[in-house]
């Protein structure tokens, strides 16, 4: 193994360590607790080492968001491909999406609540962002009417499930009515003229 290859591997391992530490700290104490000073102490590297990998907390949060989108895409794909009908796929994706938001609140916040410097909905968007949206699209597109724009319909569905997840997480909507709300959403999407 060349010295260059070893250095690249070590750099990637340090980046992985920084992102993992940030995620763990955010999940246990919230994003306010994630500072470069705190991360440096957690991973036992100096702050300049962190800055050699990321410009600051926002860049770390963006890396966390990209990683989270990859995980979300996998979970949505699993839910969608297990369904037997388009309506079931739409419901399964909605359940998987909201369950992800409930199970990983700090990760979800990095992905969709906090401002991060990522180009969403553009050709420059990182592949994991496109994949997560693509899984939503794959669930919505089969139920789109002939005159619907499937991408806009997907954005509307995403906004609806995001709203449900966010309002439920904040305690503004009771969790026990989630399945009923989701069924209303799915029924409207699949029976709208």
- What tens-digit pLDDT sequence spans the chain (193 residues)? 688 888 899 999 999 999 999 999 999 999 999 999 999 999 999 999 999 999 999 999 999 999 999 999 999 999 999 999 999 999 999 999 999 999 999 999 999 999 999 998 889 999 999 999 999 999 999 999 999 999 999 999 999 999 999 999 999 999 999 999 999 999 988 885 5
The residues, ordered by sequence, that sit 6+ positions from 62 with a Cβ below 8 Å of its Cβ are: 110, 116, 117, 118
Q: Are 63 and 19 in contact (CB under 8 A)?
A: yes
Q: Using alpha carbons only, what angle is made at residue 188 by residues 77 and 156, rounded to the nearest 5 degrees?
A: 60
pTM for the model = 0.92
171: left (phi over 0), alpha (psi -120 to 50) or beta: left
Q: What DSSP state is assigned to residue 171?
A: T
Given this model, what pLDDT does residue 5 score? 86
Q: Are 137 and 73 in contact (CB under 8 A)?
A: no
Q: How far apart are CA 12 and CA 151, in angstroms?
A: 35
């Amino acid at each position: 193994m060349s010295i260059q290859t070893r250095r690249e591997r070590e750099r990637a391992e340090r980046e992985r360590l920084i992102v993992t530490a940030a995620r763990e700290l955010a999940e246990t104490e919230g994003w306010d607790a994630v500072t470069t000073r705190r991360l440096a102490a957690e991973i036992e590297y100096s702050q300049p080492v962190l800055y050699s990998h990321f410009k600051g907390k926002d860049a770390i949060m963006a890396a966390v968001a990209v990683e989270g989108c990859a995980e979300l895409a996998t979970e949505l794909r699993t839910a969608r491909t297990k369904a037997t009908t388009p309506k079931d796929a739409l419901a399964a994706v909605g359940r998987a999406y909201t369950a992800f938001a409930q199970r990983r609140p700090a990760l979800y916040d990095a992905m969709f609540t906090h401002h991060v410097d990522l180009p969403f909905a553009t050709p420059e968007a990182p592949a994991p962002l496109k994949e997560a949206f693509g899984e939503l699209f794959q669930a919505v597109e089969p139920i789109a009417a002939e005159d619907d724009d499937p991408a806009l319909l997907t954005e509307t569905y995403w906004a609806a499930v995001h709203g449900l997840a966010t309002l439920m997480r904040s305690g503004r909507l009771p969790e026990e009515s989630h399945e009923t709300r989701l069924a209303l959403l799915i029924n409207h999407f699949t029976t709208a003229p």
